[in-house]
Structure 1
Amino acid sequence: MIKINLLPHREAKRKELKSQFYSLMTLAGLFGAGIVILVGFVFSSQLSAQTERNAFITQENTELDKKIKEVANLKQEIDALKARQQAVEDLQGDRNQPVFMMNELVRLAPEGLYLTLIKQEGQRIAIKGYAQSHAVVGLFVTELNASEWMSKPEIIQNKAVGLGQGRDAKRVIEFDLNVGIRRPRELEAAASADAAGSTKKKSTDVKSP
């Protein structure tokens, strides 16, 4: 006996496939939403961790800036202390400068030279006087330049003038110059530099074939 199915099986099949499609779409949507939520959670965690790292770095930089400022302030204080110490040492050394200066001028002044003024202003000395000739003035300048206590002599004026009247009148050279005077620490520094140069030169000579 032949059985004939008169039910709308095609529509039922279509509904079943549509239902399966919707189920798969819903499942895919849920899966995609889960992935999005998971990725968002991962990114949020990484962002939070990076924010914490940035905050930590900022805090450390702030602390480092404070320490650098403290070091800079400490360096300024040390420099100020060194400057005060140097000033005290210079004052102590400068007390003996007039003695050294007078002894040195007496030692360096050639015959035929007469000093009328010796005036110290800071580390420069103004010297005025008379000389028998320009050569005597030149010799005096040469001696000043060679002195370890004196430095950079400079002639301001050097001219011939007449002194006295009548038979006592004399033709002399009136000069005006200034010269620097070194501090003891400058002499020590120069001596150390010369010693270092001599040691280096000896070392070079030893290495030379």
Structure 2
Amino acid sequence: MIKINLLPHREAKRKERINAFYAMLLMALIMGAVVVLAVGGFIASKISMQNERNDFIKAENTRLDGEIKKIATLKQEIEALKARQQAVEDLQSDRNQPVYLMDELVKQTPEGIYLKSFKQTGQRVALNGYAQSNERVSELLRNLSNNSAWLERPDLIEIRSTGVGQGRSAKKVFDFTVNVGIKRPKENEQVGPGSPVKNNVQAGAPSPAKS
């Protein structure tokens, strides 16, 4: 006996294919959403970690800037302390300068020179006096330049011929002005054996300048 299917089987198969397509589309959408959420979460986690690192770097930079400012302040304080220490050392070394100056003038002033006055301005001293000849002044300059432990860089400011005395006692001399620098002794010169400071202190006050 022949059986004939009169049902619309083609429409049924088409409907099944449509339902399967929609099911696959739904599954693809669900999988895509899961992938997007997973990738988004991973990227968000990485961004959060990088932001934390950036915040840490910013905090460390701020801390280092503060330390750098402290170091700069400490350097300024150290320089100020060094300047104060140098000022104290200069005052200490300058305290006995008049004694050393007088002693050196006695030692380095040759015969034939009479010192009238001297004036100290800072580390320079202006010497004024009479000399029997130009050669005497040249000798004084050589002594101050080469033989003195406390005086240096003498400069002849002025020299002129003049007369002193009256009548038979009148003499022709040379009035001169010399500018010379005073050395500040180094620490080893102040405390070392045989140093100018020690020898001068032991020798006592100097005698008047030679005439």
Q: Please state which band the TM-score falls in when normalised by the shorter chain.
A: 0.7 to 0.9
Q: CA deviation at 1:85?
A: 2.6
Q: Could you tell me which amino acid in structure 2 is paired with residue 98 of structure 1?
A: P
Task: Summarize the alignment of residues 44-193 of structure 1 with structure 2, pairs less than 5 Å apart.
Answer: 44-146=44-146, 147-185=148-186, 188=189
The residue matched to 1:183 in structure 2 has which SS? Answer: coil
In 1: Cα distance, 2:73 partner to 2:94 partner = 31
The residue matched to 2:110 in structure 1 has which SS? Answer: coil
In 2: Cα distance, 1:61 partner to 1:16 partner = 67
In 2: Cα distance, 1:176 partner to 1:59 partner = 68
The 1:175–1:6 alpha-carbon spacing in structure 2 relative to 1, beyond 3 Å, is: farther
The residue matched to 2:52 in structure 1 has which SS? Answer: helix
Cα deviation, 1:112-169, whole Å, max 9, x if unaligned, reads 1111121111111111112122222122111111222112222222233333445444
Which of 1 and 2 has higher RCO (CA within 8 Å, sep 6+)?
Answer: 2
In 2: Cα distance, 1:134 partner to 1:151 partner = 20
For 1:202, the equivalent position in structure 2 comes to: none
The 1:131–1:3 alpha-carbon spacing in structure 2 relative to 1, beyond 3 Å, is: farther
Q: CA deviation at 1:3?
A: 4.2
In 2: Cα distance, 1:20 partner to 1:179 partner = 114
Q: Could you tell me which amino acid in structure 2 is paired with residue 16 of structure 1?
A: E
State whether residues 148 and 187 of structure 1, in contact with CA within 8 Å, keep that contact through their aligned partners in structure 2: no
Q: CA deviation at 1:62?
A: 2.1
In 2: Cα distance, 1:11 partner to 1:134 partner = 141
User: TM-score of the superposition, structure 1-length normalised?
Assistant: 0.78
In 1: Cα distance, 2:94 partner to 2:35 partner = 86
In 1: Cα distance, 2:149 partner to 2:25 partner = 102
The residue matched to 1:184 in structure 2 has which SS? Answer: coil
The 1:8–1:144 alpha-carbon spacing in structure 2 relative to 1, beyond 3 Å, is: farther
In 2: Cα distance, 1:36 partner to 1:4 partner = 52
In 2: Cα distance, 1:7 partner to 1:177 partner = 140
Q: Percent identity?
A: 56
Unaligned residue ranges in structure 1 (runs of 5+): 192-209
Q: CA deviation at 1:75?
A: 3.1
For 1:194, the equivalent position in structure 2 comes to: none
For 1:31, the equivalent position in structure 2 comes to: 31
Q: CA RMSD in A?
A: 2.5
Is 1:42 matched with 2:42? yes
Write 1 or 2 for the structure with the bigger share of helix: 1
Q: CA deviation at 1:107?
A: 0.3
The 1:69–1:188 alpha-carbon spacing in structure 2 relative to 1, beyond 3 Å, is: farther
User: TM-score of the superposition, structure 2-length normalised?
Assistant: 0.77
